[in-house]
């Protein structure tokens, strides 16, 4: 059979290709027949978009593409078939999804995009958001039925229809006397249904839940349905069921040996539960950290696959171009971030590459791992709300403005794999005695060393995190565990924070935790525009002192811009709050709650303003937390307005005696 040849999309790509999947008898192994036709996306065509795991890249199967035969003297114009090669996973999906009596219209990436045309692939990535957003429905194909997959869907249905989720409080609730409500209050019944929980665990190990592109596909869907063989379940019910199982994870793992479902949720399911599936605009670093456990074959897709989910000012610096190398794509993205957005929040966030030729300040997005997964949800402002003030060179060096705070004097071996409560408690006690010079570890409850608790949890303590998140242990609860009490909940947060990390002490008497690659003599830096404190390693390059980024770190007492602005005045404390999907730094003193940092007045001719990214700004800050808006800064003389704090420029900081200097990163 002759091979199918794609008809090019017209200049400007106002059109997309749709696939008309022809009917066939139920459970038939007959050839897959399709039609491919062009439509203008602006004409609002009716179609469903397919989301599935590609599996192998090898095109071992084929579809028969129906094409009209041109009339001639020897032909009456009957239709004929041309062959288009596809991968096995897609062939299996199409055989299951085709109707018995009528055709169905689909958008399928592997067919609707000419995968052999690099220019078309790059251009169509720009349209992916519109394609999935405008689809009548997204069909999620998880694969054929196997083992207890039907039981998994039945269980999620039974729970999901009785469950609601409060996004603001991050709490799941069930209807009174419903099945999940009964299970929630009856541990014996919960354990008796072990087969159900193992069935859900097996379902979540399917490849679809590990594929990077699906996060965008499901997040943008108006409506979505999961298919496993002949079984189906709507996405909203499924996600509510998964919310419930996630929140019950610690109890389930404690009751049922070898289940370990909570870690699976943390790695694969939590991104869907972090708001990504609600079509919200999110910061690109949030999306990157949510999707760090997802896989993609092409390292460039680590950025391209999330383009439609991020804010417009981030999507504009992601320009799909499959003719560029991975190094060129990543370096170009980092440079555009610095030059067009003015911040440096990405510095030190992802592991440095051991196989890509990148400078240390360009993250290796392909690894899919933060410099430490421990920092995945960490929200800090070590440099306040400051711009980057970075200088790009023609080579691989980057000049940034910052403060070299101190150096490392002692560094422990990295914490290994911690599995039991006693291992975690013992390690924390040994660290305690290192930094507190032998003070008995039994004195946890009577001593007030909250800074140590803050450090070994990376600040994930109830008193320090947004008040709407009511599931975090408090300082006292952590102290009870470290004193010998048993608490699986606190164990989870300590393990997440310290696993793989090293404890270090510094020349100025502080201590912290950070990269397992840290070593004595490394420097701690606070760099303008970067949220984290960074560990840097000094080396000579081209006859000058330069630094390589080792990774982020956590040191109590410098994570809220104390290096630049000093400590908070007596009576004041600070914490991030979640307001209308925004994370706002709030300063509190008694009944006072404000975004205005009390440590220093604004420079002359500057004032605070409040509002969104569009529309007019207002001078008055809202009285209630629920009504708070983003804080901006306006120069009343020039009319300039900015999101960067004018107190935190290199010049003004130096005027106040802060030792800001240029730091060359290579």
Q: Which pLDDT value is given to residue 602?
A: 97
346-384: burial string, b at 16+ Cβ within 10 Å, e else: bbbbbbbbeebebbbbbbbbbbbebbbbbbbbbbbbbbb
Is beta strand 33-40 parallel, antiparallel or unpaired with respect to 61-68? parallel
Length of the chain: 666
Mean pLDDT across the chain: 90
Token pair listed for 106: 């689909």
**234 Cβ partners below 8 Å, 6+ apart?**
223, 224, 225, 226
Residues 6 or more apart in contact with residue 68 via CB below 8 angstroms = 77, 79
Which residues make beta-bridge pairs with 48? 106, 137
Strands ordered across the beta sheet of 630-635: 606-611, 630-635, 641-642
Closest C-alpha among 599, 402, 418, 566 to residue 500: 418
CA–CA dist 235, 272 (Å, integer): 11
pLDDT for 447: 54
Residue 257 burial (C-beta neighbours within 10 Å; 0-12, 13-18, 19+):
exposed
Look-up of token digits 């007959």: 30
Q: Is 426 helix (H, G, I), strand (E, B) or coil?
A: helix
pLDDT at 74: 46
Of 104, 131, 98, the C-alpha closest to 9 is: 131
Q: What tokens were used for 107?
A: 């958008």
Three-state secondary structure of 76-117: CCCEEEEEEEECHHHHHHHHHHCCCCCCEEEECHHHHCCCCC
Q: Which pLDDT belongs to residue 381? A: 94
pLDDT, residue 276, reads 43
Reduced to 3 states, what is the DSSP secondary structure of residue 211? strand
Give the model's pLDDT for residue 64. Answer: 97
> In whole angstroms, what is the distance from residue 518 CA to residue 551 CA?
8
C-alpha–C-alpha distance, residues 119 and 614, integer Å: 34
Which pLDDT does position 289 carry in this prediction? Answer: 80
Token duo for residue 403: 């403060």
- Tell me the C-alpha distance between 64 and 84, whole Å: 6
**Residues with pLDDT less than 50, the chain:** 73-76, 275-277, 279
Instruction: Indicate the pairing of strand 171-174 with strand 391-392.
Output: unpaired
Q: What is the DSSP letter of 130?
A: H
Read off the pTM: 0.85
Specify the pLDDT at position 76. 46
Structure tokens at 626: 């629920």
Ramachandran area for residue 211 (φ above 0: left; ψ -120 to 50: alpha; else beta): beta
Query: How many distinct helices (H) and strands (E) make up the chain?
Result: 22, 25
Task: Write out the E strands in 380-457.
Answer: 391-392, 398-411
Closest to 54 in 3D by CA, of 201, 210, 158, 231: 210
**Largest Cα–Cα distance in the chain?**
99
Angle in degrees, 0-180, between the axes of helices 421-435 and 475-482, rounded to the nearest 10: 100
């Amino acid at each position: 059979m002759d091979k199918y040849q794609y008809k090019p999309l017209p200049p400007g790509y106002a059109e997309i290709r749709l696939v008309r999947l022809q009917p066939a008898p139920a459970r038939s192994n007959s050839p897959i027949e399709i039609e491919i036709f062009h439509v203008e996306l602006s004409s609002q065509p009716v179609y469903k978009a397919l989301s599935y795991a590609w599996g192998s890249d090898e095109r071992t199967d084929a579809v028969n593409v129906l094409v009209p035969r041109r009339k001639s003297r020897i032909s009456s114009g009957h239709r004929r078939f041309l062959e288009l090669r596809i991968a096995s996973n897609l062939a299996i999906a199409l055989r299951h999804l085709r109707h018995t009596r009528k055709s169905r219209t689909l958008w399928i990436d592997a067919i609707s995009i000419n995968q052999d045309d690099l220019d078309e692939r790059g251009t169509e990535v720009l349209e992916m958001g519109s394609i999935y957003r405008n689809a009548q429905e997204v069909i999620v194909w998880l694969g054929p039925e196997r083992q207890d997959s039907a039981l998994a869907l039945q269980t999620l249905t039974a729970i999901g229809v009785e469950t609601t989720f409060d996004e603001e409080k991050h709490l799941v609730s069930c209807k009174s006397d419903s099945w999940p409500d009964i299970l929630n209050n009856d541990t014996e019944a919960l354990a008796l249904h072990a087969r159900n929980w193992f069935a859900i665990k097996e379902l979540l190990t399917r490849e679809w839940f590990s594929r990077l592109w699906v996060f965008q596909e499901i997040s943008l869907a108006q409506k979505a349905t999961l298919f496993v063989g002949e079984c189906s379940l709507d996405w909203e019910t499924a996600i509510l069921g998964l919310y419930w199982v996630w929140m019950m994870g610690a109890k389930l793992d404690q009751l049922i040996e070898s289940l370990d479902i909570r870690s699976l949720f943390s790695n694969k399911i939590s991104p869907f539960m972090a708001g990504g599936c609600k079509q919200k605009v999110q910061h690109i670093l949030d999306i990157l950290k949510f999707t760090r456990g997802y896989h993609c074959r092409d390292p460039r897709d680590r950025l391209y696959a999330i383009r439609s989910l991020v804010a417009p000012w981030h999507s504009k610096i992601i320009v799909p171009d499959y003719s560029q190398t991975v190094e060129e794509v990543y370096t170009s993205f980092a440079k555009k971030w610095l030059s067009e957005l003015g911040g440096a929040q990405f510095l030190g966030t992802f592991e440095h590459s051991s196989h890509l030729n990148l400078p240390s300040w360009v993250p290796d997005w392909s690894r899919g791992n933060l410099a430490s997964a421990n920092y995945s949800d960490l929200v800090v402002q070590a440099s306040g709300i400051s711009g980057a003030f970075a200088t790009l060179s023609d080579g691989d060096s980057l000049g940034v403005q910052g403060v070299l705070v101190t150096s490392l004097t002692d560094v422990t071996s990295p914490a290994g794999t911690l599995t039991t409560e006693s291992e975690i408690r013992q390690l924390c006690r040994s660290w305690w005695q290192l930094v507190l010079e032998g003070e008995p570890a039994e004195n946890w409850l009577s001593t007030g060393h909250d800074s140590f608790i803050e450090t070994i949890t990376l600040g994930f303590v109830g008193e320090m995190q947004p008040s709407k998140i009511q599931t975090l242990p408090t300082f006292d609860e952590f102290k009870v565990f470290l004193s010998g009490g048993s608490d699986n909940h606190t164990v989870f947060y300590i393990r997440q924070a310290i696993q793989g990390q090293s404890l270090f002490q510094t020349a100025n008497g502080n201590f912290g935790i950070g990269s397992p690659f840290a070593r004595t003599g490394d420097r701690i830096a606070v760099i303008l525009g970067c949220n984290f404190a960074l560990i840097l390693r000094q080396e000579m390059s081209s006859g000058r002192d330069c630094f390589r980024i080792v990774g982020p770190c956590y040191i109590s007492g410098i994570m809220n811009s104390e290096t630049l602005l000093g400590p908070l005045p007596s009576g004041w404390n600070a914490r991030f709050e979640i307001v209308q999907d925004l994370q706002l730094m709030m300063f509190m003193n008694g009944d006072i709650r404000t975004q205005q940092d009390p440590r220093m007045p604004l420079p002359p001719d500057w004032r605070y303003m409040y509002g969104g990214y569009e529309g007019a700004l207002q001078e008055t800050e809202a009285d209630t937390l629920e009504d708070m808006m983003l804080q901006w800064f306006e120069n009343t003389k020039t009319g300039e307005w900015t999101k960067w704090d004018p107190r935190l420029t290199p010049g003004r900081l130096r005027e106040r005696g802060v030792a800001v200097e240029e730091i060359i990163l290579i």
